[in-house]
Structure 1
Amino acid sequence: MTSDMVITLLSESLKMAILIASPMLLSGLAIGLIVSIFQSVTQIQEMTLTFIPKILSVVGAVIIFSPWMLQKLVAFTVNLFSNLHAYIGR
């Protein structure tokens, strides 16, 4: 296994991790922004007000996007195992 293969494999793994995490992160970011704007407009400065909507949005994103995330992870794993002989090379 050459250093180029290791770098490529690491790069693809990191891209996959970012791709899988992005729906949850983006939904939490969007809801956090909306709640923050609501708090600044109404001048309600309750710290716990931001947590429940963010948690619900992240759980909703997991429920909605879990088939897509699972499909991506399975495809990546199948590709990894099917090319295992190239990684082990002598």
Structure 2
Amino acid sequence: MERIPSFSKNHDTLSVGLHECGTAYGVTTWDLRFKKPNGGDYVTPKASHTIEHLLATVLRNSDKKDNIVYFGPMGCRTGFYL
């Protein structure tokens, strides 16, 4: 079974910021990290939902819209995938 690139990273060493997760099938996944993983301080569901809608709207109306496949929250509530 192939290993998922983002699962191979040590999330305890990731800091807040933008991190490249990997590329598969010509698509690069980015980790937009707002909170430190496993830090006990997480993005609230309400804030996450608001950010998701704001950024998705901006991205879908930008000149990059044809190059963006997905923008959405991480289940761990520390950031978003792009």
Q: Which bin holds the TM-score, normalised by the shorter protein? A: 0.3 to 0.5
Structure with max Cα Rg: 1
TM-score, structure 1 normalization:
0.31
TM-score, structure 2 normalization:
0.34
Indicate the structure whose relative CO is greater, using CA pairs within 8 Å and at least 6 residues apart: 1
Larger proportion of strand: 2
Larger proportion of helix: 1
